[in-house]
Structure 1
Amino acid sequence: MKQHIPNFITLLNLFCGCIAVVFAVMNRLEIAAIFVFLGIFFDFLDGLAARVLKVQSEIGVQLDSLADMVTSGLVPGVIMFQLLNMSQTGGWGHGFLETESNLSFLPFFGFLITLASAYRLANFNVDENQVTSFIGLPTPANALLIISLPLILLHHNNDALNGLILNPWFLMGMTLVSTFLLNSKLRLFALKFENWSFKDNAVRYLFLIGSLVLLLTIRFLAIPIIVLMYVLMSFMQKSTPDIS
C-alpha cells in the first residue's frame, strides 16, 4: 500500500495543474498561481515521501515528469500567452477571452516556455547525471519565475513595474531567458537533504533563509530575485557532485 502514496501525491500535483490551466485560460491568473504553488508543494512532497518510505520507482519518476509538464510547463506558457496578449490589447484585464479584437500571433511566442519545459523534462528522465543537483533550471523554479509576473502586477501596483512587465519586448526577453535557463548547462544545487547537518547543507540553508527574508520583506517581487540568487549561489559553489 505504501508504494502508492508518493504516486497519489504526484497525481495531486497534476490535478492542481489541470485546475491552474483552466483559470489561466480564463485570465484568472492569481487563482492559477495559487494552484501552481499547491502543485509545486505536492511535487516536493512526493519525492520526500518516496525517500522516507523507501519506495522510489521508475513509474514514479515518469509520472512526476508528466505532472510537472502540466503544472510547471503548460501553465507558465499559458500565463505568458496571456501577458503577451495583454501587452497588445491595453493592459491588465484584457485576456484573450475578454477582447473582441483579432488575436495577434505574438502571444503564441509564450508557448516557447512550454516547449522548452517538455524538452527539459524529457532530457532529465534520460540523464543519469542529475541526482543530487540539476543541470539547467528545474521546471518548478521556472514556473515560479513566470507566475511571479502577474502577481507583481496585481499586488505591487507600481506604474514603473507595470509598464515594464506589460512591455512586449520585456516579455519576449523573459520568454527567451526562461527557455535558455531550462536547457542550459548550468549546474544547480537541489533542495534535497540527505541529513540535517548545517555543514553538509550550508548552501541550502543559506538559500532558504535568504529566500524567506526576501519574501517577508518584498513579497512577490522577491521571486525573480530568489531565482537569480539560486543561479548565482549554484554558480559560486566551489564543487557540486554529479546530479539529477
Structure 2
Amino acid sequence: MKKHIPNFITLLNLFCGCIAVVFAVMNRLELAAIFVFLGILFDFFDGLAARLLKVQSEMGVQLDSLADMVTSGVVPGIVMFQLLNMAQKGGWNLDFFGMHTEVTLLPLFGFLITLASAYRLANFNVDENQVSSFVGLPTPANTLMILSLPLILMYQNNETLNDLILNQWFLLGLTVLSAYLLNAPIALFALKFKSWGFKENGFKYLFLIGSLVLLVTLKFLAIPIIILLYVITSMVKERMAY
C-alpha cells in the first residue's frame, strides 16, 4: 500500500496543474499561480515520500515528469502567452465560424517555454548524471519565475516594474532565456536532503534562509531574483569544486 503514496501525491500535482491550466486560459493568472504553487509543493513531497518510504520506482519517475509537464510546462507557456497578448496591441481581425476574433502571432512565442520544458523533462528521464544535481534549470523553478510576473503586476504596485513586464521585447527576451536555461549545460545544485545536518547541507540552508529573507522584504519580486541567484550560486559552487 505504501508504494502508492508517492504516486498519489504526484497525481495531486497533476490535478493542481489541470486546474491551473483552466484559470490560465481564463486569464485568471493569480488563481493559476496559486494552484501551480500547490502543485510544485506536491512535486516536492512526492519525491520526499518516495525516499522516506524507500519505494522509488521507474514508474514514479515517469509519472512525476508527466505531471510536471502540465504544472510546470503547459501552464507557464499559457501564462507567457497571456502576458505577451497583453503587451501586444493590435492584430488581425478574423472570423471563425461566425465568431469574430483578433489574432496576433507574437503571443504564440510564449509556448516556446512549453516546448523547452518538454525537452528538458524527457532529457532528465534518460540522463543518469542528474541524481545529486541538475543540468539546466528545473521546470518548477522556471515556472515560479514565469508565474511571479503577473503577481508582481497585480500586487507590487510599481509602475516601473509594470512597464518592464508588459514590454513585449522584455517578455520575448525572458522567453528565450527561459528556454535556454531549461536545457543549458549548467550544473545546478538540488535541494534534496539525505540528512539534516548543517555540515552536509550548510550551503543549502544558507540559500533557503537567504531566499526567505528576500521573500519577506521584496515579496513577489524576490522570486525571479532568487531563481537568478540559484543559477549564479550554482555556477560559483561548481567552479569552487574544481
Q: Give the TM-score taking structure 1 as reference length.
A: 0.93
**1:35-46 aligned within 5 A:** 35-46=35-46
Which residue is 1:136 aligned to? 136
Distance 2:18 2:182 in 1: 22
CA RMSD between the two structures: 1.1
**1:191-202 aligned within 5 A:** 191-202=191-202
Q: Which has the higher strand share?
A: 2
Q: What is the SS of the residue equivalent to 2:198?
A: coil
Higher relative contact order structure (alpha carbons within 8 Å, sequence separation ≥ 6): 1
Which residue is 1:10 aligned to? 10
Deviation string for 1:86-135 (max 9, x for gaps)? 00149xxxxxxxxx751200000000000000000000000000001000
Distance 1:60 1:224 in 2: 29
Distance 1:235 1:198 in 2: 21
Which residue is 1:85 aligned to? 85
Distance 2:10 2:51 in 1: 14
Which residue is 1:239 aligned to? 241
Unaligned runs of 5+ in 2: 91-99
Once the two structures are aligned, what percentage of the paired residues are identical?
74
Deviation at 1:202? 1.5
Which residue is 1:103 aligned to? 103
Distance 2:184 2:116 in 1: 11
Which residue is 2:53 aligned to? 53
Distance 1:166 1:202 in 2: 38
Deviation string for 1:199-230 (max 9, x for gaps)? 11111101100000000111000001000110
Distance 1:199 1:169 in 2: 44
Which residue is 1:66 aligned to? 66
Q: What is the SS of the residue equivalent to 1:134?
A: strand
Deviation at 1:159? 1.0
Q: What is the SS of the residue equivalent to 1:201?
A: helix
Q: What is the SS of the residue equivalent to 1:102?
A: strand
Q: Does 1:126 align with 2:131?
A: no
Report how many residues are paired.
Answer: 231
Q: What is the SS of the residue equivalent to 1:137?
A: coil
Deviation at 1:197? 1.3
Q: Is the 8 A contact 1:211 1:226 kept in 2?
A: yes
Deviation string for 1:129-181 (max 9, x for gaps)? 00010000000000000000000000012111111000000000000000000
The runs of at least 4 consecutive aligned structure 1 residues that moved more than 3 Å come to: none
Amino acid at match of 2:212: L
Which residue is 1:213 aligned to? 213
Q: Does 1:160 align with 2:153?
A: no
Distance 2:197 2:233 in 1: 19
Amino acid at match of 1:29: L
Q: Is the 8 A contact 1:203 1:233 kept in 2?
A: no
Distance 1:239 1:46 in 2: 30
Q: Does 1:113 align with 2:113?
A: yes
